Chains A and B, each alone.
Chain A
Amino acid sequence: MRRTAWLLLLLSVACGENLSHTPPPMDHFFFPLGLALTPVAGGNAVAGGNQALLVVSANFDLRYDKEQGATLLSVDPRRYDEASGTGSLGRPGGALVKLGSGAQLGSYAGPITLADATSCPGLAAGPRGFVASRYTRKLYQFPVGADGSIAPCTGAFCTIDLDLDLMDPAAVETACRADGKRQSLFVGYLRSPPLGSYGSGTAWLSEFDMGSLASPPRTFPLAPGPVSAMAFDALTDRLYAVGRFAGLIAPLFILELPPCSSVDKDKDTCPKPNLQTVDLYSALTGAELVGIALSNPQPGRPRRAYISAAVYDEGYAAAIRARPTFDVGGAILVVDLEEDVVGQPAARVRSVVPIGLGAGAVRVLPVRPGLADLVVVPSSEEGSIQLYDDEVGAVIRVVTTDADSGAPEAGRIPSAIVVEDRGAEALVYVASFKDGTLSVLRVPMADPTSADLLRDGAGKPLRIGSTQP
Chain B
Amino acid sequence: MNRLAPWLLAAAAAVAAAGCAKNTSRPGAKLHGPQGVAVYRGFGVDQPGVLRPLLAVANTRGDDLRIVDAVTDRVLEGPTLVAALAVPTEPRPSLIAAGSLHDQSPAGTNALRSDLLVVAPRGLVPRPFPAPAGTFGATIQLVVTWDERTRVASTVDLGDLAPEGALTSLLVAPVLQSDGAGGWQPVPNQARVLATTTDGALLSMLATRDPADSTNVIVLGAPRAQLLGFAGLDLAVSQDGTRIYVATLDPIPSAGGVLGVAELDNTVAGGDLPVRPLAARLGTTQVAALDVAPFLDNDAGNPELDTFGPALPRVYASLDSGSCGRDRSMPCGIAVIDPARGGLAVDPSGELPYQLPIQVPGEVVDFAVSGPPSLSDKPGYLKFDPGSGLRWTKAFAAVATTSGRIYLVDLSHFSVGNAVSPLTGSASTRASNSASYLPATDSGAPPTDASAIGLWFEPIGSPASLLFDIYAAAGVAVTPGYTNSESFTVTYQGKLPGLASRRAVAHVVSGAPEWIAIQEATGLTASGTSPWRSVARLYDPRLAVQVGDLVEVEAFPEGTCQGGAFELVVTAILPPDQLLYPGGAVGVTKVPSSPAGVDPACLPQGTDSAVTVTFRTPSLVLAGTASGYAGRPRFVLGSPETAPRFEFKYQDETVLHCPIMADDPQQWPPSTADIAACDAACRVTCERLVLSRRARRSFYMTDGCQASSTSSGKACNDKWVKLWGLRFPMPTGPVVAFKVGITDPELGLTLKRGTYLYFVTGSGFLPGSRSPNLGSTVTGATAPYGVTLYDKSASTGLANDGLRGFAAYADNLVLDFAPWSSVVPVIIR
Contact = CB atoms under 8 A, between A and B. Distances in A.
Does B associate with A?
yes
Interface of A: 177-179, 181, 234-238, 256, 259, 274, 282-286, 297, 300, 302, 311-316, 318-319, 328-329, 331, 336, 338-345, 348-352, 354, 356-357, 382, 389, 392-398, 400-401, 403, 447, 449-450, 452, 455, 459
Given A178-B529, A452-B134, A394 B166 contact: yes
A316 B779 contact: yes
B619 interface: no
Interface string B171-203: 000000000000000000000000000110000
A449 B166 contact: yes
Given A179-B523, A319-B777, A397-B123, A392 B537 contact: no
6 contacts: A256-B520, A313-B779, A341-B327, A341-B543, A350-B322, A395-B123
B363 A349 contact: yes
Interface in B510-564: 518-526, 528-530, 533-537, 540, 542-543
Contacts of A344: 498, 534
Interface of B: 33, 35, 61, 91-92, 122-124, 126, 133-136, 163-164, 166, 168, 198-199, 231, 233, 249, 321-322, 327, 361-363, 365, 402-404, 497-499, 502-503, 518-526, 528-530, 533-537, 540, 542-543, 583, 665-666, 771-773, 777-783, 785, 809-812
Contacts of B773: 315
Nearest to B33: A329
B404 A286 contact: yes
Contacts of B534: 256, 274, 339, 343-345
B782 A351 contact: no
Q: Which 10 A-B pairs have the closest CB atoms?
A: A342-B498, A329-B810, A315-B779, A286-B782, A343-B536, A392-B198, A328-B811, A315-B778, A259-B523, A285-B404
Given A178-B529, A349-B363, A395 B783 contact: no
Contacts of A395: 122-123, 166
A177 to B, nearest CB: 7
A365 B276 CA distance: 37
Nearest to B779: A315
A329 B782 contact: yes
A235 B164 contact: no
Given A283-B363, A449-B164, 9 more contacts: A256-B520, A282-B361, A312-B782, A314-B404, A314-B778, A331-B783, A340-B665, A393-B198, A398-B92
Given A237-B522, A345-B534, A400-B92, A328 B123 contact: no
Contacts of A450: 135-136, 164
Given A328-B811, A336-B322, A343-B536, A237 B524 contact: yes
Nearest to A177: B524
Contacts of A459: 133-134
A297 B528 contact: yes
Nearest to B665: A338
A24 B302 CA distance: 81
A256 B136 contact: no
Contacts of A403: 126
A336 B365 CA distance: 19
Contacts of B583: 343
Contacts of B771: 315
A341 B536 contact: yes
A186 to B, nearest CB: 18
Contacts of B135: 450
B530 A235 contact: yes
A341 B134 contact: no
B80 to A, nearest CB: 20
A237 B498 CA distance: 22
Given A178-B526, A311-B782, A398-B92, A341 B537 contact: yes
Contacts of B540: 341
Contact of B665 (A256, A318, A341, A382): A341
A378 to B, nearest CB: 15
Contacts of B523: 177, 179, 181, 259
B780 A328 contact: yes
Nearest to B91: A400
Contacts of B198: 389, 392-394, 396
Contacts of B524: 177-179, 235, 237
The CB with the most chain B CB atoms within 10 A, among A314, A329, A449, is that of A449
Contact of A354 (B136, B322, B519, B783): B783
Contacts of B122: 394-395
A311 B783 contact: yes
A396 B123 contact: yes
A302 to B, nearest CB: 7
A315 B781 contact: yes
A328 B404 contact: no
Contacts of A339: 533-535
Given A447-B164, A449-B124, A342 B783 contact: no
A25 to B, nearest CB: 34
A177 B526 CA distance: 10
Contacts of A236: 522, 529-530, 533
Given A179-B525, A315-B781, A400-B91, A302 B666 contact: yes
B543 A285 contact: no
A44 to B, nearest CB: 26
Contact of B403 (A285, A382, A401): A285
Contacts of A238: 533
B369 to A, nearest CB: 22
B536 A342 contact: yes
Contact of A311 (B525, B779, B810): B810
B519 A315 contact: no
Contacts of A312: 782
Nearest to A391: B198
A238 B812 CA distance: 39
Contacts of A349: 321, 363
A190 B773 CA distance: 32
A256 B199 CA distance: 39
A343 B502 contact: yes
A393 B283 CA distance: 13
Nearest to A335: B322
Contacts of A177: 523-524
A318 B533 CA distance: 39
Given A328-B810, A342-B498, A455-B134, A396 B785 contact: no
Nearest to B135: A450
Contacts of A340: 665
Contacts of A394: 122-123, 166, 168, 198
Contacts of A235: 524, 528-530
Contacts of B61: 356-357, 382
Nearest to B285: A351
B522 A313 contact: no
B35 to A, nearest CB: 7
A4 B327 CA distance: 79
Which interface residue of A302, A315, A349 has the most chain B CB atoms within 10 A?
A: A315
Contacts of B811: 313, 328-329
Contacts of B497: 342
